[in-house]
Amino acid sequence: MNNTGNDAGVTGLLVDEHKIVLARLMAFETALDAFDLEQIHATIRFFDEQVVLHRRKEEEVLFPAMKKHLGTEDGPIQCMLAEHQDEQEKIRKIRSLLEGNPGPTSRSAIVKAGRYILDLLRIHIVKEDNILFPIAESVLTDEEKKEVLARMKAIGFCNTECGG
Ligand SMILES: [Fe+2]
């Protein structure tokens, strides 16, 4: 329960975005299995154009608001940030391997990094949805929730076909 007047709470919007990300990851998995270059490029575009906005909502808005209550010591937020870094590093790697016409070695490195991202993000999303976001719902005040929600909505996400 929350008192924001929004049944989805302050994190419902992020949970909804996670569903969109998970759907894209399924398409990515199929693309990696078939080495469908067009779809692999589409996934990287999705990360560059959409996931970046999702991550900004968490890193620039939600996490700093939570830190006021949880402190900045090692904890779930640090863990999520480290996983965001890991994700971005692998996306960068795939982007650079895609340059030119990737040969067999680059292709297998792309598939390896892609599968790493699939495993990382699927588990990451479970952790955020089930551990981190419930913490946010319980520690943030109603005022903070209103402000966080307004600032997250201002960042935007997926008003296009989500990189498909
Ligand atoms: Fe997230």
State in Å: Cα 105 to ligand 1 middle. 31
CA pair distance 101, 94, nearest whole angstrom: 13
| Confidence (pLDDT) at 158 | 63
State in Å: Cα 67 to ligand 1 middle. 16
| Confidence (pLDDT) at 100 | 81
Query: Could you give the residue ranges of the DSSP H alpha helices within 37-132?
Result: 37-46, 52-56, 63-70, 76-98, 104-127
| Nearest Cα residue to 98 out of 38, 46, 162 | 38
State in Å: Cα 55 to ligand 1 middle. 6
b/e 39-55 (16+ beta carbons within 10 angstroms → b): bbebbbebbeebbeebb
The long-range contacts involving 42-45, CB below 8 angstroms and separated by at least 24 positions, are: 42/163, 42/164, 43/114, 43/163, 44/91, 44/94, 44/95, 44/98, 45/163
Domains of the chain, earliest start first:
7-155 (1.20.120.520)
CA pair distance 39, 102, nearest whole angstrom: 15
State in Å: Cα 102 to ligand 1 middle. 30
State in Å: Cα 11 to ligand 1 middle. 10
State in Å: Cα 121 to ligand 1 middle. 9
Cα torsion 65, 48, 125, 153 to 10°: value is 40
| Nearest Cα residue to 40 out of 83, 89, 97, 87 | 97
State in Å: Cα 39 to ligand 1 middle. 22
pLDDT tens, N- to C-terminus, the chain (164 residues): 434 444 678 999 999 999 999 999 999 999 999 999 999 999 999 999 999 999 999 999 999 999 999 877 768 999 999 999 999 999 999 999 999 888 999 999 999 999 999 999 999 999 999 999 999 999 999 999 999 999 999 998 765 444 43
State in Å: Cα 114 to ligand 1 middle. 18
Place of tokens 């999303």: 125
pTM of this prediction?
0.89
For residue 92, give the 3-state DSSP assignment. Answer: helix
